[in-house]
A = this chain, B = another copy of it.
Amino acid sequence: MSDLKEHSCEACSPNVPKATEEEKQQLHKSVPDWEILNIDGEEQLYKVYKLKNFVKALEFTNKIGDLAEAENHHPVIVLEYGKVAVSWWSHEIGGLHKNDFILAARTDAAFNDMQ
């Protein structure tokens, strides 16, 4: 698969189908460190990042905010001292869309840029 973070996000609406099992398996290969959690019946991509301190964690949170705003697709971020946990999923469809995997890949790239 080409570099997932370079893929374009599609507009998401309640009528767009979720990613199929096969698609998810394929997409997950590009972001293998992300767990697929089932939260209240909705699948989510979840990853915890370690950072040096609170300032670095907040800086990373802002970078995630930038890429979320760019696609008008927003994660849940748990920010604390030295740690940022990120969850991506598509609320509109109650689960995972390719967009979530793309944004997970971009989140990894943003983190790597800080190292």
Q: Which residues of A contact B (CB under 8 A)?
A: 54-55, 58, 61-62, 65, 68-69, 74-81
Contacts and interface: CB of A to CB of B under 8 A. Distances in A.
Nearest to A82: B74
B80 A79 contact: no
B78 A77 contact: yes
How many protomers of this protein does the assembly include? 2
Given A58-B62, A76-B78, A77-B78, 15 more contacts: A54-B65, A54-B68, A54-B69, A55-B69, A61-B61, A61-B79, A62-B62, A74-B80, A74-B81, A75-B80, A76-B79, A77-B80, A78-B78, A78-B79, A79-B79
A4 to B, nearest CB: 23
